[in-house]
Amino acid sequence: MDFRQTAMVIDVPRQDLTVIDLFAGCGGMTQGFVDAGFTPVMAIEMNPHAAATYAANFDPDLTHTLCADISEVATADIPAADVVIGGPPCQGFSALGRQKKDDPRNKLWMEYVRVVRAAQPEFFVLENVDRFMASGEFELLSHEVDKGLLKDYEIRTAVLNAADYGAPQRRKRTIVIGSRRGQPTMPNPTHGRKATLDRAPWTTLATALDGIPFRARSSGPLPSNDMNIFDQKIAGPFTMEELHFGRNATQLSRDRYEVIPPGGGRFDLGRERPDLLPPCWRNKPTGTSDVMGRLEWDKPSVTIRTEFFKPEKGRYLHPQWEQARRSEQVNRVITHREAATIQTFPDHFLWCGTKTEIARQIGNAVPPVLARALAEHIANELVGTIPKSLSA
């Protein structure tokens, strides 16, 4: 499916709008901004596998990708940009941590602030886990905005669900928009649990995974192409088709998957085939029902995390299941390709790194459709209004 077709098209020139992506990962957020017409001018990512994926898609000539710890990037090398995106990883430390100026956990946040001050963007966009608002990091950011180094900005914070912006996935994340043009607003949701006058219904897995064969490629190694980049050899780039590989599940695992219906999970296993329960589950009959759960065709998926390829980590079994006709039952977890599609990466996206590294990139990413909604919203503000500095 081409998710980009569902996004709003606005007829304003924006080819000159620039963006810097910090903690860029594979570039899920950049993909959304590029789709909205922005030009990336710098990306900082210290993991070489993720940085290689970013470069393969957005910077094949390596003109603006820095594979480095953000603290090693000199302030003088940071270009001006209209928007800075990306958020430092949240360690969720308690608010008390902020009191200590030299607390090492504050370091990444002060690096973030340093880059924003150097790039002087009109807007910044931060994405983080949904519990971010209760963290010391958030308190630190609010402090800098109230009376610290970011006092030129006003912020708006909200927990957005990617499904409300067209992703076939319920994924709640804290989004902070900072603006130098007055109190920013959030983009209006385009989708909802049910269709309404101004919202389409949530995108289902049936729509999103349409056209991807049930049969995955064999579970062997990825093709043996690799590239020399950032002074090392990195596997890839691999196409989305190449990521449609299965895993070597044991017969016992396949027997377990077979009795789990769409929407069901480990508790169905306990009811139907208690003999197949691993001892740890037998002794712990309570817990989350998502474990070894099966997805459902007519709903969006649960949040795709970095270990989506392990059924014991969540609801990641393929939705195809028909009790009457076992031949039409797909007894495997979703493939990397399916996970990337659920995250709304386009079919032409390229991936670099090992299977585990690529899974981490997929699970860590901001779904490009959500990023595009944010980018379109900000582009409208940038192009459609006069900067405060000029209107004063």
Ligand X SMILES: C[S@@+](CC[C@H](N)C(=O)[O-])C[C@H]1O[C@@H](n2cnc3c(N)ncnc32)[C@H](O)[C@@H]1O
Distance of CA 71 to the CA centre of its chain: 23
Q: Are 82 and 17 in contact (CB under 8 A)?
A: yes
Residue 115 contacts ligand X per CB under 6 A: no
Nearest to ligand X of 265, 353 (CB atom): 353
- Tell whether residue 113 is a contact of ligand X (CB under 6 A): no
What's the CA gap between 75 and 351, in Å, rounded? Answer: 30
Roughly what angle, to the nearest 10 degrees, separates helices 107-119 and 136-147?
A: 40
Q: How many whole angstroms separate alpha carbon 85 and alpha carbon 391?
A: 26
Question: How far apart, in whole angstroms, are the C-alpha atoms of residue 164 and residue 168?
Answer: 9
Contact with ligand X (CB under 6 A): which of 167, 366, 369, 373? Answer: 366
Closer residue to ligand X, CB minimum distance, 29 or 145: 29
Question: Candidates 1-9, 19-27, 145-153, 321-329 — which segment interacts with ligand X by CB under 6 A?
Answer: 19-27
Chain-centroid distance of CA 110 in Å reads 23
By the rule CB under 6 A, 314 interacts with ligand X: no
Does residue 165 touch ligand X according to CB under 6 A? no
- Of 159 and 277, nearer to ligand X (C-beta) is 159
Q: Does 365 bind ligand X (CB under 6 A)?
A: yes
Among the candidate windows 9-17, 248-256, 331-339, 359-367, which touches ligand X by CB under 6 A?
359-367
Considering the rule CB under 6 A, would residue 364 count as an interface residue with ligand X?
A: yes
CB 9 → ligand X: shortest distance, Å? 22
Query: Is 29 a residue that touches ligand X (CB under 6 A)?
Result: yes
Residue type, 8: M
If one asks whether residue 48 binds ligand X (CB under 6 A), the answer comes out as no
Q: Residue 89 or residue 221: which is nearer to ligand X going by CB?
A: 89
- Which of these ranges, 281-289, 351-359, 361-369, 377-385, lies near ligand X under the rule CB under 6 A? 361-369
- Should residue 44 be labelled a site residue for ligand X when binding is judged by CB under 6 A? yes
Cα 343 to Cα 355: distance, rounded to the nearest angstrom: 17
What is the b/e burial string over 8-41, where b = at least 16 CB atoms within 10 angstroms of the residue's CB?
eeeeeebeebbbbbbbbbbbbbbbbbbbbbbbbb
Kindly state the number of chain residues that form the binding site for ligand X, as judged by CB under 6 A: 20
DSSP state of 17: -
155 lies in the binding site for ligand X (CB under 6 A): no
| 280 in catalytic set | no
Phi-psi region of 164 (alpha: psi -120 to 50; beta: other; left: phi over 0): alpha
Cβ closest to ligand X, residue 87 vs residue 97: 87
Q: Does 46 bind ligand X (CB under 6 A)?
A: yes
Q: Rounded to whole angstroms, how far apart are CA atoms 3 and 203?
A: 10
Contact residues toward ligand X (CB under 6 A) are 23-29, 44-47, 50, 69-70, 86, 89, 108, 364-366
Please give the positions annotated as active site: 90
